[in-house]
Amino acid sequence: MCCGADDDEDEQAAGNPGPDIKRRCTDVCCIPVLVVFTIWPIAVVLGLKDVDGAYALTHGHDHYGQFCGREPLEAKPFAAFPDLENDFKKDPLLQNRYGVCVDACPQQFQSITDYDGQLKEGGQPLRKTASMDWYISLPTIPIAGRCIPYDPPAEFTGAVEFCADPPCLEKPGVPRSSREVCGLRRDNTSHFWLLSEVNAILEDGWKREGVDDQVLAERIRLAANDKIQHCKVKVYRDTRVRTAPVDASLTYSLLTKYTGQIFTWCTMIYEHRWLVLGLGIGGSLILSMVIIMGFACCVGLVLNVLIALLFLVLICADYVLFFQAGIVTGRTGRMVVDLVQQATEWDMPAELETLIEDSTEDEQMRAIYKWSAIGLLVGILVLACAAVATRKNFRILVELLKEASNTMREMPSLLLAPFVLALSMIFMSVVMLWVALAVATASATDIPRTLEAWHFYIHPALEAVGLAQADEMSQLRQTALIFNLFVFLFIYHFHASLCIAITAMCVSHWYFYRNDPDRNAGTGVNSDGWFFGRPVLLAFLRLCRHHLGSLVFGSCIMAVATMLRLIFEYIAAKTKDQESNPVVRAVVCACRCGLWCLERCLQFITEYAYVYVAVTGKTFCASAHASFVFFAKYPVQTAMDKMASAALGYLLCVTVPLGLAVVAFPWLSQAWPPCAFVIIALSYVTTRLAAGIYDVCITTLFVCVMRDCEHYGGRCWDPKHTYSACKAPAEL
């Protein structure tokens, strides 16, 4: 059985309403599931790390079929491909490449030496018998143990800046001003005068044109001085030298062109890495926090303005419908439009003017417009009544947003957990991808004991239920891949649950104990013994000590829901040819919609359940039940909180990445496109994490405030607030 705190235990603890009640471990029966899912990738990595299929993921092989980095080629871990041109001619997919193992990827214009070896099945003999050396005409870069060629960027660039207007004053003899320092006649730059310093190409060109040493020295001196003459039109003379094989095929040229472009972009990003990381992570984090704080300060004004704009748009649309129905004359509308145009000097588009100038003469359309106008009017009245009825909810929402901002200001380390968990998830994604590829490429000789156990224990059970396949190895591989996918989904949802629970634990501890000198450890920057990261560390330790099973329980539920959707999409893709039948198509759409709604509902409930686990110490099922009760008590406030969080999330994820990409342009110049892409990606992830933490803060504070007011008289609510949220349960 799962152990846990009694459902009513926290209500009995009137003297200590916060999260530090005497907790017991919850949902311990789920811990073995976590152990099994943890052992799975470790066992596969240890069992398949030396098999050929898994080893091929990180190492190439030579033309004999021998793996680079393995005996007898331990000292040569990289595979170079010196004859890709002929490989492309024989096989455009490059499934059988001619490889040579080397100790390091060769540079451009180097040679590598082939060798004798043992020819294996599928291998190739030596292509060159007269000479064992291969000339490498393009540079290479190591990727997954392979030396990939790429088209190199220009090795030398000579860029000179000239002025075209006003033109150069070409005079014989020693020049007297910078405007008399002209370009070269052979490339038609003699009509332009030099703005930049003289380079070696210009100096050599002038000498070839017969310029003496005295004139040359004066030109160099004048070009190095500051230019007094103002230039209206500037031009550039650019000289670049690049090397590439002249007899390369189209396919080979395309390959090296794209790999060269990728290499160039990666080089640009690496050269500006500190600016990219600073703007993408640091800048987006600071800007997100500024927007969050500003959003909380002016949220009341923003909400009122948005509501006013909504009603204004609806009223204008309803007026147009009444005019098209012939019920109103339109004089009032035209007068308002004229006043707006005079005040703002804005010309209204002709399409909009016709809406209040020309009404339809079709009686049938007038009837449609009439009933549409009446329906919209009823909707406006209903919305107005709803806005009046929920004015108290707006006041509570404003208070919650302000308090959430205060929480993040008091505990800036709240943003530490999502970044650490994001890095952990990236690492686990790479591991699970490696596991999937290793399982997919494993053969029967690689896992003889596993296949034997499958044959004696699993296969008979599958035969009994009619699910056995003739090819046992294929069925074992398919089952392992499906299980690996489920483990990956579990790991993803487990990371998400940790992020929510850690944040909820920190916020609830801060809410209840920030003013308690005996229990305020880890509540904020003003607590005793505070250091950066202490609230997150304490919350993580509490969760691991008491509630790890509850997080596993919720993660399994979400993984099952997601897996059902994936299985359905797989079945729908396999039966796509039958969707020409309208009944089948309707059933598929209905099932897809139902599974999507199920997953979203479970996700919403589990998020609140994690918050309740952190706040109350209950089991997952008891917390989910408490979440249902909470939704039933405060449905409007819950919806408004989620809408505000979603609006802020969209605002952050759009404005911050694009704004930082624009800000980076003056410092990046030609490197702006690839660096801007990375900045946008990093800043999007950062702002999404910040918005997610702010959302969890709002949810946790909402739960804490309502719980505090219902059971403990609001003793922990800050009395300095202008609106007492402890009136909320009775008002809502």
pLDDT (tens digit per residue) in 622-662: 989 988 888 888 887 778 778 777 877 787 888 888 888 88
Same structural domain for residues 540 and 688?
yes
Q: pTM of this prediction? A: 0.74
Same structural domain for residues 367 and 497?
no
Mean pLDDT confidence for 689-712: 82
Q: Is the confidence at residue 597, as pLDDT, over 50?
A: yes
Same structural domain for residues 433 and 578?
yes
Mean pLDDT confidence for 238-263: 62
Same structural domain for residues 380 and 467?
no
pLDDT grade, residue 215 (50/70/90)? confident
Same structural domain for residues 335 and 425?
no
Distance, in Å, from the CA atom of 339 to the CA atom of 332, rounded to the nearest integer, reads 11
pLDDT grade, residue 262 (50/70/90)? confident
Distance, in Å, from the CA atom of 15 to the CA atom of 541, rounded to the nearest integer, reads 24
SS3 245: coil
Question: Is residue 51 in some structural domain?
Answer: no
Mean pLDDT confidence for 285-298: 77
pLDDT grade, residue 717 (50/70/90)? low
Work out the angle between the directed axes of helices 672-712 and 284-297 (0-180°, nearest 10): 40
Mean pLDDT confidence for 357-361: 68
Per the CB < 8 A criterion, the answer to whether 184 and 205 are in contact is yes
Same structural domain for residues 418 and 363?
no
Distance, in Å, from the CA atom of 486 to the CA atom of 36, rounded to the nearest integer, reads 12
Question: Is residue 331 in some structural domain?
Answer: yes
Distance, in Å, from the CA atom of 262 to the CA atom of 673, rounded to the nearest integer, reads 12
Per the CB < 8 A criterion, the answer to whether 179 and 229 are in contact is yes
Per the CB < 8 A criterion, the answer to whether 348 and 407 are in contact is no
| Domain encompassing residue 691 | 9-39+396-731
Distance, in Å, from the CA atom of 4 to the CA atom of 617, rounded to the nearest integer, reads 8
Question: Is residue 227 in some structural domain?
Answer: yes
SS3 444: coil
Question: Which is more confidently placed, 702 or 578?
Answer: 702
Which of 437-451, 570-584, 601-615 tops mean pLDDT? 601-615
pLDDT grade, residue 323 (50/70/90)? confident
Domain finish residue from 343, 370, 389: 389
Same structural domain for residues 508 and 632?
yes
Whole-number pLDDT of residue 257? 62
In a 13 Å sphere around the CA of 55, the CA atoms on its Cβ side amount to 15
Question: Is residue 246 in some structural domain?
Answer: no
Per the CB < 8 A criterion, the answer to whether 16 and 512 are in contact is no
Question: Which is more confidently placed, 169 or 732?
Answer: 169
Whole-number pLDDT of residue 289? 81
Among 6-20, 78-92, 122-136, 408-422, the least confident range: 6-20
Whole-number pLDDT of residue 728? 47
Radius of gyration of the chain (CA): 35
Please give the mean pLDDT across all residues of the chain: 79
Tokens 């990445």 belong to 657
Mean pLDDT confidence for 559-582: 84
Distance, in Å, from the CA atom of 80 to the CA atom of 100, rounded to the nearest integer, reads 5
Dig out the tokens for 413 from the structure: 């380390």
Same structural domain for residues 381 and 410?
no
Whole-number pLDDT of residue 316? 82
Whole-number pLDDT of residue 562? 93
* Burial class of 246 by CB neighbour count within 10 A (0 to 12, 13 to 18, 19+): exposed
Per residue, the 3-state secondary structure of 464-521, as one string, reads HCCCCCCCHHHHHHHHHHHHHHHHHHHHHHHHHHHHHHHHHHHHHHHHHHCCCCCCCC
Whole-number pLDDT of residue 357? 66
Q: How far is CA 591 from CA 486, 579, 588, 604, in A?
A: 21, 13, 5, 20
Same structural domain for residues 646 and 501?
yes
pLDDT grade, residue 721 (50/70/90)? very low
Distance, in Å, from the CA atom of 595 to the CA atom of 601, rounded to the nearest integer, reads 10
Phi, psi for 61 (deg, rounded to 5): -135, 160
Mean pLDDT confidence for 253-262: 64
Question: Is residue 284 in some structural domain?
Answer: no
pLDDT grade, residue 559 (50/70/90)? very high
Same structural domain for residues 723 and 611?
yes
Whole-number pLDDT of residue 1? 38
Q: Is the confidence at residue 82, as pLDDT, over 80?
A: yes
Same structural domain for residues 409 and 385?
no
The total of structural domains in the chain comes to: 3
Whole-number pLDDT of residue 49? 75
Question: Is residue 501 in some structural domain?
Answer: yes
Distance, in Å, from the CA atom of 66 to the CA atom of 117, rounded to the nearest integer, reads 8
Same structural domain for residues 470 and 322?
no
Question: Is residue 527 in some structural domain?
Answer: yes
Distance, in Å, from the CA atom of 585 to the CA atom of 572, rounded to the nearest integer, reads 10
Whole-number pLDDT of residue 382? 87
Question: Is residue 250 in some structural domain?
Answer: no
Whole-number pLDDT of residue 491? 94
Q: Per-residue pLDDT tens for 485-518?
A: 999 999 999 999 999 999 988 888 888 777 766 6
DSSP 582: H
Distance, in Å, from the CA atom of 409 to the CA atom of 400, rounded to the nearest integer, reads 14
